[in-house]
Amino acid sequence: MFDHDSVDRRISDIAFYASELVNEGLLEGLNTPEYESCTSDDFDWLGVHGNEIANNFFKSFKKHYTHFKTYHGARPENVGSYLKHGLIGQDAENLHSRFRALFSDCSPNNIDQAVENRNKGAPQESGSVFFTTDKECLTGRGFSGRLVFGSEYFIALGVRLSKLDSAAYNYRDRIKSIGIPTIFEIHLPFELLSNNEIKYTSNQLLAAWGNRAFFPEDYIEFRSAHRINCTLPPQFIVNHWHPSSMVDPDIISETITNEMTTCDYCKKGNETIKDGK
| Residue ranges that bind Zn ion, judged by CB under 5 A | 263, 265-266
CB of 218 to Zn ion, least distance (A): 40
Comparison of 199 and 240: residue with beta carbon closer to Zn ion = 240
Question: d(Cα 135, Cα 276) in Å, to the nearest integer?
Answer: 8
Smallest gap from residue 238 Cβ to Zn ion (A): 13
- One-character DSSP codes across 190-239: GGGS-HHHHHHHHHHHHHHHHHHHH-GGG------EEEESS-B-GGGEEE
| Beta pairing, strands 255-257 & 245-247 | antiparallel
Minimum CB separation of residue 190 from Zn ion in Å reads 28
CB of 267 to Zn ion, least distance (A): 8
The CA-CA-CA angle for residues 75, 139, 96, to 5°, reads 25
Question: What is the smallest separation between the CB atom of 3 and Zn ion, expressed in angstroms?
Answer: 22
**How far apart are alpha carbons 128 and 230 in whole angstroms?**
6
Q: Which is nearer to Zn ion, 49 or 267 (CB)?
A: 267
When the beta carbons of 4 and 75 are compared against Zn ion, the nearer one is 75
Stated length of the chain: 277
Closer Cβ to Zn ion, 208 or 232, answer by number: 232
Q: Are 63 and 204 in contact (CB under 8 A)?
A: no
CB of 79 to Zn ion, least distance (A): 5
Q: Map residue 106 onto helix, strand or coil.
A: coil
DSSP secondary structure code for residue 245 in this structure? E
- Whichever of 184 and 200 has its CB closer to Zn ion, that residue is 184
Distances in Å between the alpha carbon of 77 and those of 88, 206, 208, 255? 14, 41, 40, 22
Nearer to Zn ion, 30 or 263 (CB): 263
